[in-house]
Amino acid sequence: MNLTDGEELQHIITHAPIGICILDADTFVAEMLNDKFLEIAGKPREAILNKWYWEPFAEVRSYYEAALIGVKETGEAYYADEVEMALIRHGREETIYVKFVYAPVKDGTGKVTKLAVWVLENTRQVSERQKIQAARLAMQAERDRLHEFFMQAPAGICVLNGPEMTFELVNPRYQELFPGRKLLGKPLFEAVPEVRDAPIWDVLQKVYHTGKTFEGNDLLIPLARTPDGPVENRYFNFIYQARTDINGNIDGILVFVYEVTENIVGRLELKQAQNILQLAVDASGIGIWTVDLTTGIMTLTPRTRAIHGIPTDTHLTLEKASEMIVEEFREKVMSSINEAIVNKCDFIEEYWLQPMDGSPRRWLKSNGRAYYDISGKPLYVTGAIFDFTEQKADDTRKNDFIGMVSHELKTPLTSLNAIIQVLNLKLKSHEDSFVPGAVAKANTQVKKMTGMINGFLNISRLESGKIAIEKRRFDLEELISEIIEETKVTNPSHNVAFDKSGSALINADHDKIASVITNLISNAIKYSPKGQMLTIRCEVKAGNVQVSVKDKGIGIAPDDMKNIFDRYYRVIQKDTQHISGFGIGLYLSAEIIVHHNGKIWAESEPGKGSTFYFSLPLD
């Protein structure tokens, strides 16, 4: 570059649209500059003109001094395109973007005599471009996040594009609805042709042309899962929402879908099961009741209302319903329900009830349990009621009959027993040994018959509430010893060991406790092989005396253990077919112990024997 005309140079510099500063090539002193350069520099003219160039621009000297010297030494221009520069302007540091050129100015001989600094600021353009770029990046990031959300969403999502409903986006959950099918990039009819005749196609068209969002729940759509698979009745919850372009025109549909086929099918199956259960409940004659423990209000099935004689328009609380229970049973029933609520257990009670409509009393059995929320707070109690008034009447008639027959049989048996005893005395020295033996056997059979009749009489008295407990004070260990001695005479086939505690005084019915001990020993003998040892133990524990009878017999199976104290229950198996009995001994023993405020139980293992226990309060 050569500038020879001073006036021309001054005119060019002054009116140039870019900043220009002319430096002396030897001293780097600013000799000339225009207003545009001052505007870009942000410094007053006197701070730059006639000053060493790096004095006003000390903040950028380290970056560009070498370049300026290089232009002086090489005569080659230095170009900087859109560089970021931290410059002190108007007394504060500013970051600006500039394009500048360090250009050599040569004389006629080619010597560099001046250096021209040409500078153009484009901070605003760069800033705008950066904002646009940042907005684009933010938009892209938002798109990426939205796409990631779609891909990871727990519901099926797809985007249908254009009037042909082409799959533009399909997330994994949506693809799972159609395993094996290629959806992306295909029109809906091509990818899922079975929707062509389904009502759902009309719904899609309506959303596309009106822009109105459609929501559906539990809708039936016949669809195949795989391309060649059978069409199935499938149920879906979904939302169809129109998508618009930047001009607000509808260009597609956004679909959110969740398959609920399993839930619907399960609900239908549950409804069917409930209907079957209801039929079974109705056929069984069982009534169901539920009481809300917050409000106390009861919900009753029609059968429950019929049993209790309650009109359909009458509402009850548990307290009001309890008033229909006959007084002697009321407290026990309510205590049982309350105990079940507190201890989270079942309750079962039998009681007489006087129906609300004044009809005859009914004998009911009610059982149920309480239900709780996640914190353990009881919410409601529900129970089932069975009316077995007729069965109770049948039992009463049967017990009356058994009692009557047993009572009538006792008189001839007593006479027969007396005759046999007299014969036994007179025939002891009979020359034919068969006769005394036969009489002795007859006497044994009469005793057995007398024992059975007494057992049936006791059951009859027990069921009618007429069994009498006549208590007196005696030593339980002495009673056990006496019974063992009698057993050794009548049943010498088994050995009996007695482990005593020393003394066990109780206040109880001597004869009835004796019958319990005799029954337990008799059972141990009947159900164990000859020659086996029976072990009887009497122990004092925490204010109670505990008696146990242990044998090494055939044992009892777990399924039978829960019923062995039931009336008329007998264990039926190959080993017990030859053993006589009516299943009343353990039932009577259990009732006698209960009437003494005691406990009775058993432990057993098949093939290894059994141990029967009972405990009574000490005197």
Q: What is the pLDDT of residues 264-304, one digit of tens each?
A: 888 887 777 767 666 666 666 688 889 998 888 888 888 88
Q: Which two tokens stand for residue 424?
A: 């036994």
Find out whether 54 and 66 touch, Cβ atoms under 8 Å. no
**pLDDT at residue 420 is higher than 80:** no
- For residue 347, give Cα distances in angstroms to 326, 334, 341, 365, 368: 18, 10, 9, 11, 6
- pLDDT score, position 406: 47
- For residue 172, give Cα distances in angstroms to 147, 151, 152: 12, 6, 8
Q: What is the mean pLDDT of residues 215-232?
A: 85
Question: Which has the closest alpha carbon to 223: 253, 170, 251, 183?
Answer: 183
242 vs 565, higher pLDDT: 242
**pLDDT at residue 76 is higher than 90:** yes
Q: Which two tokens stand for residue 12?
A: 């060019």
How large is the angle between the packed helices 434-464 and 389-426, nearest 10 degrees? 150
Question: Which has the closest alpha carbon to 584: 459, 479, 425?
Answer: 459
Phi, psi of 263 (to 5 degrees): -65, -45
Per-residue pLDDT band for 146 (boundaries 50, 70, 90) equals confident
Q: Tell me: the pLDDT tens digits for 530-541?
A: 878 899 999 988
- pLDDT score, position 546: 92
Which residues are within 8 A (CB) of 150 and not within 5 positions of it... i.e. 6 or more apart?
Answer: 157, 169, 171
Per-residue pLDDT band for 58 (boundaries 50, 70, 90) equals very high
Q: What is the mean pLDDT of residues 552-575?
A: 77
Output the average pLDDT for the chain. Answer: 83
Which residues are within 8 A (CB) of 515 and not within 5 positions of it... i.e. 6 or more apart?
Answer: 588, 589, 592
Q: Whole-angstrom Cα distance, residue 299 to residue 310?
A: 12
Find out whether 317 and 298 touch, Cβ atoms under 8 Å. yes
Q: Which two tokens stand for residue 109?
A: 């001989």
Per-residue pLDDT band for 582 (boundaries 50, 70, 90) equals low
Q: What is the mean pLDDT of residues 330-342?
A: 90
Per-residue pLDDT band for 408 (boundaries 50, 70, 90) equals very low
User: Residue 97 carries which side chain, given as an amino acid letter?
Assistant: Y
Q: Whole-angstrom Cα distance, residue 488 to residue 498?
A: 12
- pLDDT score, position 611: 93
User: Residue 577 carries which side chain, given as an amino acid letter?
Assistant: Q
Alpha-carbon Rg for the chain in angstroms: 54
Q: Which two tokens stand for residue 488?
A: 């050794």
41 vs 447, higher pLDDT: 41
The SS3 call for residue 5 is coil
- pLDDT score, position 147: 74
**pTM of this structure:** 0.38
- For residue 117, give Cα distances in angstroms to 34, 110, 228, 290, 459: 11, 19, 77, 98, 128
- pLDDT score, position 194: 82
- % of the chain residues with pLDDT over 90: 29
Q: Whole-angstrom Cα distance, residue 193 to residue 187?
A: 9
Find out whether 600 and 593 touch, Cβ atoms under 8 Å. yes
**pLDDT at residue 205 is higher than 60:** yes
- pLDDT score, position 407: 45
Q: Map tokens 């006549």 to a residue.
A: 470
